Structure 1
Amino acid sequence: MYLPHQIVGQTLNQRFDQGVRKHFFRGMEFAAPVADPGWFGPGSAVWHVHSHMYALIFGLQCAAYLERLDPSIYWMGMHHSRLVKRTSDGTAIPEIDPKGASVRLGHSVAFFIGTAYGSTETAERLAQSVRAMHHTIKGVRPDGARYDADDPEWLRWNYATVVWGLATAHELYHPNPLRGKKIDDYYGEFVRVGHALGGTDLPTTKADTLECLKSYLPRLAVTHGMAMSTGANLALPHSAIDWAIRDTMPKWAKELITHRDPNIVERTARRAAVWSIINGLELAAGTAPEFRQAQARVKSGTTVSHTLPEYVLGDDPVRSRQEVELSFN
């Protein structure tokens, strides 16, 4: 007989298998080659942080929210992403398209699980595909400013929001979080992913990342579409995750969207409720099979402690957007 949490876990895993693994994990290798540590390997801070699937998913949502405070990245999404709804003639509407959001999340989860636990070849292929997509994202904002997803300044902003979102979600909601110098180990290791995507001059500690993010404040703004997603400080239980996403933001970013922290008692209670949701899901679902496969791959040791991304700036082949999209399928 299955216990209630086992039934919930079975349902969660079936949904994840059908909604994410089936579509976005194809071609990714976690069990082989034996002794290949990938980009991080056993004992790494990245393996510890990314092993909690539901905290990782929450962290990606936090990163995406903070990222969109850059108007250029916001308009990149409006012009090029399936994340938003569109009219019959293709005009973007500043409303999230549920199907598009699901696809975006699937790609993101696959990328951050694949680069963390996948073989070296898997990590390299994922990074090359994402870089290729970035190479196609260029355009002009409604105010006439040009944007380019390969611009080093915006790659740095994008990277900093991602590592901040993932690390902060881990510190708040992992049952055994890294602290102090150990969380800095995560920032220092994760920079390999940023370099693999073409980033340069990237922050490598928590303090440096926070400073990097704040340095962009003069360039940031709340666009109309971003304002629509901020909302009021809504109460539990219906918007617990919505509130928790904004709760992870630096003080100056909260001020930008007029988010106000509740008193310490209410804030602690809200965080406790979100902690229960995230860890309840993780407990029910159990350890991700990709993590177990990676552990088995290196159980007898590794050839080196970790490998490094091989990308050299500017050495990608030129590919059309259609060719790039086919590589994701």
Structure 2
Amino acid sequence: MADKSFQPIRQQFFKNVRFDEPAGDPGWFGPGSAVWYLHEHIATVQIGLAAAAMIETLHPDMAWMGYEHTRAVERVDGIPTGRFDQEAMASRTGHTLSFFLGVAFGPSAVAERVSRTVRAMHDRVEGVRPDGHPYRASDPELLRWNYATMAWALAAAHERYHPRPMRGERLEEFFREYARMGIELGATDVPTSKAGVDQLLADSLPLLGVTMPTVELLNPLAPWRHPLWVRPVYALMFWVVQDLHPMWAQRLMNTPQYWRPKKMVLRAVARSLLQGMRDGVIREVKQSHARVAGSPTMSTGKVQGVRAG
């Protein structure tokens, strides 16, 4: 994502999220962290967030919670139409990026503030599924599962599509560091390794399934929802996101299973598109490096002596 294309999100959703001060504050993770390295490549982060959002619809609590409380689903007289409210969807995307980049790159006060905001939102979201099962967004066990989907998805997108992905022990650093995000949001017994995250998701399989909200919420990227001229790109991204999922999730979602040569071609095309986005190109990343280095952020957006890729 080029910095210019990020501007509408920045103007609307980053008004109170500052990355350029106070000087010397590394935030929760800092420039040498695996968390910073992963989040600097915004294009792969967005693929990861989409993959997490999609797989979360397989948990009935998450599915009904989203269906009954999100503004992204268009409603007429309170009744869902099966369509998405595009303005609300854009708002959700902006708030999501504001939160994740604020936690990853922001100074400590910003990371704490955006986390408090999300916790307060969780405290207000509760209800009862049609089968009589109650749900609460602040349930620590549900938050643990939600955290695991997010950590898994960000790492999976990074491994497959980042230009220079972390491997082995360096990738394990990401899981150890990022556990703080889950803990700060109220999750308990947060896994701190790739194997732990994978195991938690695998153990949750008996709880999962395709419910009606899954069908309604699963496909904001579905090509038929978009103008004809952009459908080829959306069709590719729709498959790319599902292709990241574990096979059990792909079976539940009925993800198209192509022959390996076709998969390799589609992944290569997606990799070429996503890797065309330079690491650290957006202003907030540059400001964060400058903040920690204690040097002023220049008005041109260029920061001397700060790694931006």
TM-score in terms of structure 1 length: 0.82
The alpha-carbon deviation at position 260 of structure 1 amounts to 4.5
8 Å contact kept, 1:62–1:165: yes
**Distance of 2:239 and 2:188 partners within structure 1:** 32
Partner of 1:269: 265
Equivalent of 1:299, from 273, 293, 297?
293
Equivalent of 1:219, from 183, 207, 210?
207
Equivalent of 1:49, from 29, 38, 54?
38
TM-score in terms of structure 2 length: 0.87
Structure 1 unaligned runs (5+)? 1-8, 302-329
Identity of aligned residues (%): 41
Q: Structure 1 residues 91 and 174 mapped into 2: Cα distance closer, same or farther (>3 Å)?
A: same
Structure 1 counterpart of 2:158, which letter?
Answer: H
8 Å contact kept, 1:233–1:259: no
Q: Across the two proteins, how many residue pairs are aligned to each other? A: 287
**Which stretch shows the higher mean deviation, 94-103 or 114-123?**
94-103
8 Å contact kept, 2:74–2:83: yes
Q: Structure 1 residues 140 and 185 mapped into 2: Cα distance closer, same or farther (>3 Å)?
A: same
The alpha-carbon deviation at position 80 of structure 1 amounts to 1.0
The alpha-carbon deviation at position 194 of structure 1 amounts to 0.6
Partner of 2:88: 100
Matched, 1:202 2:196: no
Partner of 2:20: 31
The alpha-carbon deviation at position 274 of structure 1 amounts to 0.9
The alpha-carbon deviation at position 232 of structure 1 amounts to 10
8 Å contact kept, 1:232–1:259: no
Counterpart mapping for 1:239-278 below 5 A: 239-278=235-274
Partner of 2:283: 289
The alpha-carbon deviation at position 233 of structure 1 amounts to 12
Partner of 1:191: 179
The alpha-carbon deviation at position 279 of structure 1 amounts to 2.3
Q: Structure 1 residues 232 and 51 mapped into 2: Cα distance closer, same or farther (>3 Å)?
A: closer
Q: Structure 1 residues 90 and 256 mapped into 2: Cα distance closer, same or farther (>3 Å)?
A: same
Partner of 1:17: 7
Q: CA RMSD in A?
A: 2.3
Equivalent of 1:145, from 123, 133, 139?
133
Matched, 1:59 2:48: yes
Partner of 2:79: 91
1:276-304 CA-to-partner distances (Å, cap 9, x unmatched) read: 22223x24x96111111111112259xxx
Partner of 1:71: 60
Partner SS for 1:95: strand
Equivalent of 1:180, from 163, 168, 177?
168
The alpha-carbon deviation at position 55 of structure 1 amounts to 1.0
Counterpart mapping for 1:115-134 below 5 A: 115-134=103-122
